[in-house]
Each structure stands twice: as structure tokens, then as C-alpha cells.
Structure 1
Amino acid sequence: MRALFFLVFLVISGGFSFAQTHNVYEISFDNAVHHEATIKARFSGLENKVLELRMSRTSPGRYALHEFAKNVYNVKATDSKGKTLLVTRPNPYQWNVSGHDGTVVVTYTLYGNRGDGTYTQIDETHAHLNIPATFMYAPRLALRPIKVTFNVREDLNWKVATQLKHLEKNTYYAPDLHYFMDSPTEISNYSLREFTETSNGKTYTIRFVLHHKGSDADLDTYVGKVKKIVEQEKAVFGELPDFDFGTYTFLACYLANVSGDGMEHRNSTILTDVEGLAEGGMENNIGTVSHEYFHAWNVERIRPLPLEPFDYTAANMSGELWFAEGFTSYYTNLILCRAGIITPEAYVEGLSGTLNYVWNSPALKYFNPIEMSYQAPFVDAARSVDPVNWTNTFVSYYSYGSVLGLALDLSLRNHKKDLTLDGYMQLVWKKYGKTEIPYTVKDLENTLAEYAGEDFATNFFTNYIYQSNMPEYQSLLSTVGVNFEKAKPDTPYLGAYVRSAEGKTMVVSNPHQGSPLYKAGIENGDQIVSIGDYIMSDTTNISDVLGELEVNNTVTVVYERNDEKKETIMELESDPAYKTTLLELQDKKLSKAQKESRERWLGKK
């Protein structure tokens, strides 16, 4: 569908006859110490008198706007003979070049100093390039193949790592604009490990690139975990994707100067974090590996229809993110458990955080999972200066979809013994992933009906996707020997985050609608002076205070707002948080059926 779109676009624009002429880029990093790159691009075989060049406003894997043009300056253009051409700015994201002779050579300076999955960072440790944040593009030439040469800093022992096809030396190839935009590149003195995986008679190379300051032994241990993840995720779908050029590349950068992130791409993923492997990253970073690699199937090839073709000029909105991101989030830690990287106990206890976040959110009365997915352009690394009320109006589609994935998995297993979420995902993969036919929410429902029956699918989608009802987690989790119960039923709670510092106890989040603080009229930014007989101070722990109070009682709360002291009455209510624990850890006997069901759920595949 993406190719068809660009084909039609080129025919309309009159550029079809030059579809196989390469656009050529070159990037250098002589001033990396000051976070600058010099970029040169050559567009030839042009018929139009005006060449339109743009910087993208979006990035594959992100859904919000990112104004990359703000870091571009010193733009100049010449024709094939070196004649200076007129460059004008019709809008903040575009440069029009006129008067050319069929060739335009444009040069510009790029500033970049944020290392993550969205932006570009250039310094003397590396050139960490997200392509939309780095290179101008010509929208009318979107089907043209691209060659790019990275002039690496040999004095810094830099090497190039990318999913782009290697041609020679430091020159690489992309078949079209979208593949180019979707190909992040790490240029540094990195370490490399490789292993192979076979699928459908083909052997694929899995590369793990790591830019870090740690030891080779730590890297070897980490890649051993990565290999287990690759094997277990392959087992979910029954096969690997047909990776272009036969290779998949993990591009990891674990250094103090980057920002924590993970971003999926068609044949690679970006992994960034401030924790090195020896500083906690061995355990804390591996979940991102699991999540992003799962996207090689779910998102990159099992693709929501609203994201096709990806729009580089506007925010990309999809109502399917509860499935694309959320079901991927469900599998993130499940895969770690199946791979033996975390224990069943750790996995089960970790479920409670996400369940509580979604289960107890007031936002469910406003939006269902589809509508929560629509919020992505406002929350997915988007920037705003005005306060929002997301505490009460938004639940992350990552978390929402994750708990629905859990519910669907356990419901399928309870519905028929041979049904699992793995089986459903395999069917979705065969219908929409291998074929790369973009899907809709209705397609997901119809596929579930095909897999588990129409009544089952209608019930699940009606109650939990088209509406915001919550599944019966207590009964579902009990089938696999997991207890789901109130964590502190006899302890009161406030309903907002409270922080003590510099002698003040401040409310630092919007109170949940219906919570004790909310009903008492206390707001974000208020200072709590006292609760009942307890005066708040640096040495007062709010948890200890709540532990001394009794549910269903009322207390007087003194607080300050805008330097004015106020007083209110607060009704104490039971903490609504739940905990998830293995049944046997509560000295309860696990039945044979529960034990077998749990093993089928959490066991190695």
C-alpha cells in the first residue's frame, strides 16, 4: 500500500520517469565537539523548475509532531555547475530551490544533541542519527533509491552500524525514502556480536551493536539474554519476519550522555539508556530489548491501516495502538519469564503495577482503548507548556493494551484448552503480517471470531474495546494459580502523589477524581500542613501517618494554597491498590489444573 501511494504521487507530480535516479547524501562530523554535522545532498534529473525540500515533522515509531527543522541552518544551494541558486522558505519546514539546471546540490549545517530514538546526537563519543531528524528530503522524489555516505571520524575509531544496505566503504543504500527515514544509524567505536537464526529455510544474521564503556564479558552475557528473547519471540509467531537484506540489527547505546528510550524499525531498533551493563543495565535494559524486537512483527509488519502510508508532514493517529503497543507491552515481560531471564514470581508480582494503574483510573469513564490510542499525538514524547489533566483523563495505551492482552490470553486459555494469545497472534500474523496488509480494529475482531468463535470475539470487543469495562481479573488469574486481592485493605490512601522536601509536604499531582483528597477539595500544588493530629515536616513520612489512621474515619486537614491557610474535612477510604502473588507463596495449595495452566502460560516454548 505504501508503494502504491508513492507511485500514484510520482505519476501526478511528473517525476515518474526519474524514479530510478539516486538521491545522494553525504554527512561529515568535523565539528562534532560542538554537536554540528555538515550535510550535502544532490538531487539530479529534475524536471520541475522549483525543487521542494523539507525536514520531517514526524518520525517512524512516534506519533506526535517533532519540529526537526529548528536545528537546520546555513542552507545553500547550487546547480551542477556550482552556480548559486535562490532558496526561499514558504513555511517553517520547507525550502524551495529555483532556477536549477536539472540538478540541485544543497548543503546545510545540522545541530543535534539528544541521543534517543527520535532525535540526533553528535559529539566526540558518537554520531547517533535518527534519519528524519538529520536529512532534508524531496517529497516528489519519494520513490527514488538513496545513497548515503557517512564520513566517519577515523581519529575517533568510528564505524557505521545501520539497517541500510552496505554498498562499499562507508556508503549505504536505501530502496526508497521511507526505508531511508526508517533506518537509524549509530556511528561510534562500538562493540559487535552476531548470531544466526533459521526460519522457513532461510538463515538470518542478528547483530547486536553496543556503544558502551563496559567489558566484553558483560556484553557476552547480555547478548546471551538477547538470543533467548529472539528465540522465544520467534516461538510466539512460529517464524521470523523475512528481514530485508537478511539481517536484523540492535543499535544499543548505554552511556551517560544519552536519554533512555527504545524505538522500533523494520529491520532494527534503537536502544538507549544512561545505565551501562555493570551499572544496572544488565537487568534494567533488557525489557526494552524484548519490547522493541517484538515490534518486528507487531507494528512493523502487522501494521495499523491509519499508519499507512506514514505521514512525514503531520501527526500520525491510530485507534489500534492498544493492540500495536499494548499487546507488545503484555509480551515484554512474559517473554523475559519464558526465556528464564526473570522468575515466574517476579513476573506475576510485576503485573500489579500496570493492573492498578489501569484498574483504578478515572479515565476509563471518558475513553475506551481505541479513543485512548487517539491521544498518542499529544502524549508520545510530545511537548506542551500548559498543564493537563491526564491523571483523570488518560490511561496509556501501552498499559491499557497490556492488561487487555493479559485478559484475552487467560480468557482464551479458559475458553478452550488449545487456545492461547500466541495462537491468535499467529493467525493475525499470517493474515496481516506476512502479507503486509494493513489492518483495522474490525479486522482484529473478525480474526478473533475466526480463531475463538463469534460469540467470544463479540463479547470481548463489545465489553473491553468498544467500551471501557474491566475483565474479571480475580477469576482469570485464579485459573493459573495467581491471587489478585487488595494489597492494604485496612490502610487509608490520599489519591495523589505527595512529596516532602525542605520542610514542606506538597501535593505534586492532580488528585484522582473521587479520591479522598479530591473530595476534600485539595489540589495539585497545595501544601499539606497537618492531617488530624499529625504535623507534616521533613521527618514525617506520609506512609507512616496513613498507617496510624483508620479507614472510614474523618480527619481535619490543614493546607496552604497561594500563601493562604485553609482547612477541610477528609473522609478516609481504603487503599484501592491490588497485589498479584503466586498462590503457593500464601501457603495455599496449587491444584494440578492450575499448575499445568501456569506452565503452559509462563513456560519456555
Structure 2
Amino acid sequence: MKLHAIAILANFALPNYVTMKQLCTKLCLLMTTVITSTFAAPRIHFEVSFSEPQAHYAEIKMEISDIRKDYVDVKMPVWTPGSYLVREYSKNVESFEACDENGAQLPVTKINKNTWRISSDKRSQVVVNYRVYGFEVSVRTNFIDDAHAFLSPAATFMYVDGMINHPVDVTIIPHPSWSKISTGLEPVSGRPNTYHAADFDILFDSPIEIGNQDVFTFEAAGVLHEIAMVGGGNYDRERLKKDGAKIVEEATRIFGVNPNKRYVFIVHNYQSGGGGLEHLNSTVLGASRNGYQNERSYLSFLGLVAHEYFHLWHVKRLRPIELGPFNYDAENYTTALWIMEGFTAYFDNLLLRRCGFLNESSYLQALANDVNTVENRAGNRLQPVALASFDAWIKYYRPDENSANTSVSYYNKGALLAMMLDLKILAATQGQQRLDDVLKAAYEEFYVKKKRGFEEHEFQALIERVTGVSVDELFHAAHTVEPLDYNHYLNAVGYELVDYNKGRELPELGMTTTASDGRIIVTGVSRGTGAWNGGINVRDELIAINGERLDVNGRELNRVMQTAAIGDTLNIMVARDGKIRELNVVLGRDTKGAFSIVPLQNATPEQARLGKIWLSLE
């Protein structure tokens, strides 16, 4: 090949003034041309079809052209970004086989749980065929039936090991009964139902809905927004467009720029549904199909819209350094989910307040609900929220009967830390700056300029540099279980947190129950309570208390608790694994709070002014 290039160059008529450097440059350019013409760049193309959607299957054809290796390893991700749990998507793959461009079978060996090795012997093309089973209702897993197909790309498409940055095309062949495709992927001009991703990170971040969904659009912040409603519902198209536009405009105002030209909402409407997952230029939401005419349910849905839309800046672009580029083979640990999910959980309700969907009291109650959730959870006194972020992979997405005693939510507690940061910055700058300014500056610093994620200490340093305010105590609080002094921050803007249970001496048993098949079953036992100390177990069946048979509706248990006092001993009969046990339980004092946030009595004019800025009351 070198001799061929030099021979061609020898035929060039070179002027006398051509220097050795220029000659080398010409040679390098020529070599590049020769190499490019001799070895074409690899191409990867998928074709997705549905011969048996009623059985919950998709057929995937993966064409790998011009790779020319002795063997090719193709891999299925084990998790999907935004949902921090190893889900082992390869468990749903079957009938994996490979052939060359002539249809001749190629040897395949599965070398680990999510990797298939194809002995390609430098073939110019490798064609992989496999089927994927999908029948799990969630925003992060495949669901296929005779009505539609929802494809979570990480659960559907494989990648060539070492080629995650390679471009890829996907062609969808809908079932004949389906007519629409909704996705954030870029359509390929002149190729029907074919879409392009610049790399596999983008492909895995672009869910696909195929079926007969109701599709309508609106424009906001200079961006075209598509809403794909799946499963019907009593929604009002025009109201959704109007309210969605308000949220988009308000979120965009915070960051000063909307990074998309087009954004897609895929909404799955169920009899009872919820949850969402953010993506680069789209989101998948779960909703109750008949909940749109109920104001409380509708506000909850708008809060979900606000939360996932806020993520298009905060997580998908402004992010911890550990969250991208991704390792799709294993957990990607970070201690900063309290910043990413927690701050977003703070801003989702704040956006609703700014848009006028929540009045002052409703917004304050939403914040107080977070306080109640955090402060009444025993795990809050055991697990720092930064550790909850790190342990999301093994705790948050795998809750059990003891989770409330051992862990805290980085959503709720992170939202409260975000609130305190916002209030501290507001007060210290006399209302000139707030958390909005920090996030906008961080977006520009790390995503736009440095084109990378941040480390937690860098994020804290940026806050202090932008605002001139030390926030060390709040970042310290994220890494400890020390009590939070909410009123130190709320009082500065004319509000206070009150506990209506403070000073009350009430007995507490410390367990939760449910009625099942005519029996009362224990579902939870709180750390440090009478039930905990007395040996009550989850899954115990409660039979009698103080010699009185318990009724399935819990009336007898309620009567006993209403007349009992702290320190009383209750004799409780339970059935455990088919055996009768009698346990003596000493009632302790109920330590749970009943929190609300209310205007501060005798607030100064400055406190009241800052409060109005905080809650957009002017």
C-alpha cells in the first residue's frame, strides 16, 4: 500500500518550490485517500419488525458492514440512563444467530451474560438476528402487545464492543395494524420509517413508540413539541398544549436557552399509572387515563411534566462527571443524585407555582409534604443523602420491608436541601440572585464551555463564586445525618416550619398493617418503636390484642390505641409461619411530626419582600 501511494506521487509534476514539509503533507493526504478507498468505514443498521406482537415479541436485525475482524463482540446494555438499577436486559433476548452477507451461518459463543462473540473471519458483512420479549409496564422497559409497541432502546438494541461512538441507523417496520411512530431520533430523508443516531449514547437515549397513538403538537420557546398519547384518556388537547407551553417557557427562562429543535412527550395512559424517565430530547410519562379531569390528579401530571422536562438541562446536559460517557456493562456510581434528582424535585413544584398552577398555600404544603416524608422516616437518621445517591443501585430501586428504617430518598431530601440553598442565596444577596442563577451558570460552565460533567466540589465552588455566598454547611449536610435547621432558612424569607404534634404525648405502636383475605397482616415495623422492640415481624398475622379477637377492619385495634397510654404493655397474639406466638409490646411515645410551612408572624418588611420573590407573589 505504501509503494502504491509513492508510485502515484512519483507521477505528480512537483514545482521546484515544493518543500519537504509540503511534500510530506501531500503524501499524508494521499495515504488517507488510499486507505479510505481501500477500507470503507463500518456501517451499522437495525431493522425492527413485529410478526407476533400479541405474544410480546419484536424481531431485531442488526447489519454490521465493513468491519472485517476475526471476531465481533456484540453487547446488550444491562441498564438504561436515568434509572439506576442493573436490569439485565439480555434476559429477554432469544434466538440469537449470525450469518455473513451470503447467508452462511457464523459460529456464535455467548461469553458472558450480555455479550455474544461472532466468529466473523474478516467477513465484509455480519448480519445478526435475535428476538426480544417485552411485557413489563414501566417507562424503562419494553412493552409490546397487539395494540402498540414501546421500545426502550437499551433493552432492544445491541452495540459492537468498542464502537459505542459509532453512528447507527434504525428502520422500523410497524405491524400492519399500526400507523404511527413517535421518537426523538432524527428521520432519514428519503428512507421511510428510518432514523439516525450520531452514536449509541443517543440511540439508547431515544425511546420509540409504535402504534396508533394520538399525536398533536405545540410550539414553545422556539421548539416544536410533539405529544403522543397512548391508551386513550379524558385529556383535553388544547389544555395540555397551553399548560405544557407554560412549563416549557418557564423552564427555558431559567437556563436562557432551549437546546432542542424538537421534543417528544410519549405518554402512556393506564387505568392507574405514573412515573417518568428523562431523555435527551424526549421523555416517557405514565398517567391515569381518566385522571385528567380531576384537578389534583391533573396537577400531579403537570408536576411530572415539569420534572422530566427540567431534566433536559439538569441531568441530560448539566450532570455529574460520573454520568456520561456511560459504562453500559455495570453500575455508574455517583454521590450527586441528591443534586440532580433532588434539585429537579424542588424545581418541578416551583415551576408549577411560577406558572400559576399552584397557589401559595398549595405550594407550601407540597414542600411540607417533603419535610414530613423525610423527618418521619427512620432511615433519615441513618443514611446521608449523598450515600443514598451512591446506593441507588442497590437500595432505591430495590426497596423491601425494612427500607424505611435504613434509607432516605434523594428526591425528597435533595429537594429540601435545594430549597435551603435557594433561600440562603436569596437572603444573602438581598433577592438579587437565587438558585436559578447558579444552575444557569453551571450549565454554561460545564456543559457549554468545558463540555464535561462536574465533580461535586466543583459545583459547590461554582455556587460560591457566582453568588459570593458560602454554602459549605448545606453540602456538609448532604454527607451527614445531622438534623436540618429548616427555620434558619425559612425565617429569612418570612416563613416558618411548624410541627403540630410538638408537645403532644401520644402512644405509638409503630407498625403498619393491611387487610388480606380476611386477615390483618403486618406490612412494616418502625425502628425503635414498641412493635420493633417487642418483636413484631413483617408478615405476622395479628389475631388478638389483650385477649380480644381483632376484626379485619381494625376497629378493635383502633379502640385499644385510643384508650392506651405511653408505657402500657399490650399482649399481642400473632400467627407466624403457621405457629401461634404471644408477644408483649410496650407502647412508646409517638415521635412523628405533623409539619406545615406557614407565614412567619411579625415578619419584617425585608423578610416579606424576599418571600414574595421566592414564591413569585408579585
Distance 2:45 2:521 in 1: 56
- CA shift digits 1:173-196 (9 cap, x unpaired): 000111111111111212223233
Q: Secondary structure at the match of 1:525?
A: coil
Mind listing any 5+ residue stretches in structure 2 that lack a counterpart?
Answer: 1-34
Alpha-carbon distance change, 404 to 543 in structure 1, aligned in 2, over 3 angstroms: farther
1:71-150 matches, within 5 Å, as 71-100=92-121, 101-150=123-172
Q: Secondary structure at the match of 2:322?
A: helix
1:505 to 520, 541, 556: 520
Moved more, 529-538 or 171-180: 529-538
- The answer on whether the counterparts of 2:337 and 2:386 sit within 8 Å (CA) in structure 1 is yes
Partner residue of 2:580?
A: 564
Q: Are 1:221 and 2:239 an aligned pair?
A: yes
Distance 2:376 2:40 in 1: 54
Partner residue of 2:218?
A: 195
1:260 to 261, 271, 274: 274
Distance 1:18 1:309 in 2: 28
1:311 to 327, 334, 337: 327
Q: Are 1:468 and 2:490 an aligned pair?
A: no
Q: Secondary structure at the match of 1:308?
A: coil
- CA shift digits 1:109-128 (9 cap, x unpaired): 21111242211111122110
Alpha-carbon distance change, 484 to 490 in structure 1, aligned in 2, over 3 angstroms: farther
- CA shift digits 1:496-537 (9 cap, x unpaired): 32334555433211x332223223333323344556697632
Q: Are 1:288 and 2:304 an aligned pair?
A: yes
- The answer on whether the counterparts of 1:525 and 1:561 sit within 8 Å (CA) in structure 2 is no
- The answer on whether the counterparts of 2:529 and 2:588 sit within 8 Å (CA) in structure 1 is no
- The amino acid of 1:221's aligned partner reads R
Partner residue of 1:6?
A: none
- The amino acid of 2:435's aligned partner reads L
When Rg is computed on C-alpha atoms for both structures, the one with the higher figure is 2
- CA shift digits 1:388-428 (9 cap, x unpaired): 63222111111221111122222222333223222222222
- CA shift digits 1:307-352 (9 cap, x unpaired): 2221111122111101011111111212112212222222211223
Q: Are 1:443 and 2:465 an aligned pair?
A: no
- The answer on whether the counterparts of 1:528 and 1:557 sit within 8 Å (CA) in structure 2 is no
Partner residue of 1:43?
A: 64
2:346 to 317, 330, 335: 330
Distance 1:278 1:140 in 2: 46
- The answer on whether the counterparts of 2:54 and 2:145 sit within 8 Å (CA) in structure 1 is yes
- CA shift digits 1:433-478 (9 cap, x unpaired): 3333211111122112213436x2223223x123222321134334
Distance 1:236 1:66 in 2: 34
Deviation at 1:90, TM superposition (A): 1.2
- CA shift digits 1:66-86 (9 cap, x unpaired): 111111112221111121111
Q: Secondary structure at the match of 1:577?
A: coil
With CA pairs under 8 Å and 6+ residues apart, which has the higher RCO, 1 or 2?
A: 1
TM-score by length of 1: 0.87
- The amino acid of 1:147's aligned partner reads D
1:372 to 378, 388, 395: 388
- CA shift digits 1:580-601 (9 cap, x unpaired): 14349xxx67765454333212
1:469-484 matches, within 5 Å, as 469-484=482-497
Distance 1:195 1:278 in 2: 19
Q: Are 1:298 and 2:314 an aligned pair?
A: yes
Q: Secondary structure at the match of 1:434?
A: helix
Q: Secondary structure at the match of 1:266?
A: coil
- CA shift digits 1:224-259 (9 cap, x unpaired): 22111112212222332x22xx21211112134x96
Q: Are 1:164 and 2:185 an aligned pair?
A: yes
- The amino acid of 1:22's aligned partner reads R
- CA shift digits 1:80-100 (9 cap, x unpaired): 112111112112212111145
Deviation at 1:104, TM superposition (A): 0.3
- The answer on whether the counterparts of 1:40 and 1:105 sit within 8 Å (CA) in structure 2 is yes
- CA shift digits 1:162-213 (9 cap, x unpaired): 1111113201100011111111111121222323334xxxx32222222232
- The answer on whether the counterparts of 2:184 and 2:263 sit within 8 Å (CA) in structure 1 is yes
- The answer on whether the counterparts of 1:495 and 1:518 sit within 8 Å (CA) in structure 2 is yes
Distance 1:271 1:41 in 2: 29
Partner residue of 2:174?
A: 152
- The amino acid of 1:601's aligned partner reads W
1:249 to 254, 261, 264: 264
Partner residue of 1:416?
A: 429
- The answer on whether the counterparts of 2:530 and 2:587 sit within 8 Å (CA) in structure 1 is yes
1:393 to 399, 406, 428: 406
2:53 to 16, 29, 32: 32
Q: Are 1:58 and 2:79 an aligned pair?
A: yes
1:210 to 208, 225, 229: 229
Q: Are 1:519 and 2:533 an aligned pair?
A: yes
- The amino acid of 2:520's aligned partner reads T
Distance 1:332 1:534 in 2: 49
- The answer on whether the counterparts of 1:68 and 1:133 sit within 8 Å (CA) in structure 2 is yes
Distance 1:332 1:317 in 2: 25
Deviation at 1:64, TM superposition (A): 1.3
Mind listing any 5+ residue stretches in structure 1 that lack a counterpart?
Answer: 1-13
Distance 1:504 1:265 in 2: 44
- The answer on whether the counterparts of 2:381 and 2:482 sit within 8 Å (CA) in structure 1 is no
Partner residue of 2:364?
A: 348
TM-score by length of 2: 0.85
Distance 1:146 1:99 in 2: 20
- The amino acid of 1:47's aligned partner reads R
Q: Secondary structure at the match of 1:306?
A: coil
Q: CA RMSD in A?
A: 2.8
Distance 2:377 2:286 in 1: 30
- The answer on whether the counterparts of 2:44 and 2:169 sit within 8 Å (CA) in structure 1 is yes
Alpha-carbon distance change, 225 to 492 in structure 1, aligned in 2, over 3 angstroms: farther
- The answer on whether the counterparts of 1:264 and 1:296 sit within 8 Å (CA) in structure 2 is yes
Deviation at 1:490, TM superposition (A): 4.5
Distance 1:603 1:27 in 2: 49
Distance 1:377 1:466 in 2: 18
Partner residue of 2:207?
A: 184
Distance 1:325 1:537 in 2: 43
- The amino acid of 1:291's aligned partner reads H
- The amino acid of 2:136's aligned partner reads R
- The amino acid of 1:117's aligned partner reads V
Deviation at 1:261, TM superposition (A): 2.6
- The answer on whether the counterparts of 1:409 and 1:420 sit within 8 Å (CA) in structure 2 is yes
- The amino acid of 1:311's aligned partner reads N
Distance 1:18 1:431 in 2: 40
- The amino acid of 1:407's aligned partner reads M
Aligned residues: 572
Distance 2:83 2:338 in 1: 15
Identity of paired residues, percent?
26
Distance 1:477 1:308 in 2: 36
Alpha-carbon distance change, 539 to 163 in structure 1, aligned in 2, over 3 angstroms: closer
Partner residue of 1:9?
A: none
Moved more, 123-132 or 492-501: 492-501
